[in-house]
Amino acid sequence: MHALDALGSPIRREILAQLRDKPQAVVELAAHFPISRPAISKHLRLLQQAGLVEAHTHGTRSVYTVRLEGFASVRDFVDAFWDAALQRLAALARDDVARKDHS
C-alpha cells in the first residue's frame, strides 16, 4: 500500500496524530476511537504495510511508533506540486519583467 493511500482514511490520519506524540499500544490507541481494538489493529497493519508505522514488541504487547522515513514518498509527491508552482511563478515574473521592458 502506498503511503498516500493509507493517509486517505481519517481514522488512520488520527492514529498517526496520536502516535506523533508518543509510541502507543493498540489498547492505548483504541481508547481514543469509537471503534474496536481489532479495527484499530487492522488500520495499524495498513499503516505498517505503507511503511508509516512500525511495531516493537514489549512483553506481550506491540507498541507502535511513527516511521518518519515512510513519509518520504508523500513529501516527494507534494514537492513535485510545489516545484511546479514555483516554476510557474518564476515564468510569470519573467513575463511581467519582459512586458515592463517592452512598454
For range 56-61, the mean pLDDT: 88
Residue 83's pLDDT is 74
Q: Are strands 61-66 and 53-58 parallel, antiparallel or unpaired?
A: antiparallel
| Residue 29, helix vs strand vs coil | helix
What local confidence, expressed as pLDDT, does residue 97 receive? 67
Contact 87, 20 (CB under 8 A): no
Q: State which H helix or E strand residue 89 sits in.
A: helix 72-102
Distance CA 36, CA 40 (A): 6
Which domains are delineated in the chain?
Answer: 3-102 (1.10.10.10)
pTM score: 0.75
Report pLDDT digits (tens) over 11-46.
Answer: 999 999 999 999 999 999 999 999 999 999 999 999
CA distances from 76 to 4, 9, 20, 52, 60 (A): 11, 20, 20, 15, 37
Average pLDDT over residues 80-91: 76
